[in-house]
Every structure is written in C-alpha cells, then in structure tokens.
Amino acid sequence: MPAAAAKKTLYHSELVQMGEVQVTVQSDVQQSKYQGKPPYVILKIDRAERLYNCENQACEEFFNGTKGQTFVLQATGTREEAQIEYVRDGEPGEPDRPARAPAPQQRRPAPAKAPAARPPQRPPAAAPQQQRSAAPNGQTVGMAMNNACMSCAQEGIPFDLKIIAERATGILRLAAWFEAGNLMPKAGKVDPVAEAMAQPEPEPEPEPEPAESDNVPF
C-alpha cells in the first residue's frame, strides 16, 4: 500500500494571514514525539489536512475538546502574544475553506435630481409711450415769447400783446411739428408756420345772462 502523504505544517503566522477561516478539527491536541517541538492539532482547511503547531499554551487550550467541530476562527499576534478567537459556527454542507469576507455591495449612484422648475419669468413691462403733444415747459414758452418780441421789433410792429401771443404760439407749434419727426414740407405743400399762424384763436364763450326774477318790487 502506498504511504500516506505527509500533512503540511501550518504555522501560526500563516494562520494569521488567512484572516477569518473555517476549519474542522480532525484530532485532539497531541504532544510531539520530537523533543522541543510544540504540541499540535490536525485541522482541515479547504479540503486539505494541515498540522497546526500551537504557538503557545493559550492556543493549545483553545483546541482542547473541539475534535469533530467545524467553526470559523481568526488568529492574531505572535509567540507569547498569539491568540485564536472563535468567530462563529461553520456553514453546514460547505467544505472547510478560508472564510472570505462578503463583497461590499456597490451602491448605485443616486439618480440625478432634475433641476427645480423655475417660475416663468414675466415679460418686462413696456415702457410708457411718450406723449406726442406734451405741454411745453416754462423755458420753452419764454424762448418763444422772446423770439416773437424780437421779430416784431425787427419788423417795426408796435408792441401788441395779441400779435406777440400769436407769433409765440406759431413758434411752439412749429417746434412740436419737428419734435414729432416731421420735416419741412416741400414746395407746393402747406407751410406749417403759415398754417399755424393762420389758425384763429378760439373765441371765448359768452357768459350766460342772469335769469329774470319773479319777485317784483312794489
């Protein structure tokens, strides 16, 4: 019969590197037949039997009375500081293997939030239209009166308030004509100055006569 394959030694440093590992204890703790060698225990890890050398007395005591049990353990430290901790029971029906930490669940990125709807912007208020026939200010009226007086003086017309008012009115109407964007009329068309001068002033309305009284003095 072929000789049984020798079991590979499992040192405590290698067990530390395995992290959390599931094992099945195959034997009781046994003393080595070689002088100076530490006690050992046979563990089944990932379908292979390994001969674990107990690092110190604490590790030896951990495996006492655990033959036939399957559980997950984790080794830490070295030499006198070496320790073995029980993590949890083994998984039934699963082969003995290094316990792999579950892969972290990848968080799906949160769906991008749609930008908040902005309230509809109101169209800017339309600028008020400028009145075409704005009343002339005092400075404009004064200039028109001065020009009317100068024209009367140049023509030798004696001072007449009515004539000056008519000419000043014509000057103001002509200024309003140009401010409205009109141009000087061409030949054959009505002259705005003559037209303005020709417009008669409105006659004042006659005052109402007093009503006759029925009271007759005696």
So what's the pLDDT on residue 24? 94
Name the residue among 56, 73, 67, 85 with its Cα closest to residue 29: 67
- State phi, psi for 55 to the nearest 5 degrees: -70, -35
The tens-digit pLDDT sequence of the chain (218 residues) is 444 567 799 999 999 999 999 999 999 999 988 888 999 999 999 889 999 999 999 999 999 999 999 999 999 999 999 999 999 988 755 554 554 444 444 455 555 666 555 556 666 666 555 445 556 677 777 787 777 788 778 778 877 778 878 877 888 887 777 777 776 655 555 555 555 555 555 566 666 666 555 555 54
Output the pLDDT for position 26: 93
- The distance of Cα 181 from the centroid of its chain, to the nearest Å, equals 51
Q: What is the DSSP string of 109-174?
A: PPPPPPPPPPPPPPPPPPPPPPPTTPPP-HHHHHHHHHHHHHHHHHTTPPP-HHHHHHHHHHHHHH
Residue 7: predicted pLDDT: 78
The reported pLDDT for the residue numbered 87 is 93
Residue with tokens 């001065």: 146
Tokens matching residue 122? 């109101």
Name the residue ranges covered by the structural domains of the chain: 8-89, 138-198
pLDDT at 39: 93
Residue with tokens 């003393």: 31
The DSSP element (H or E) to which 103 belongs, if any, is none
What phi and psi values does residue 205 have, to the nearest 5 degrees? -70, 140
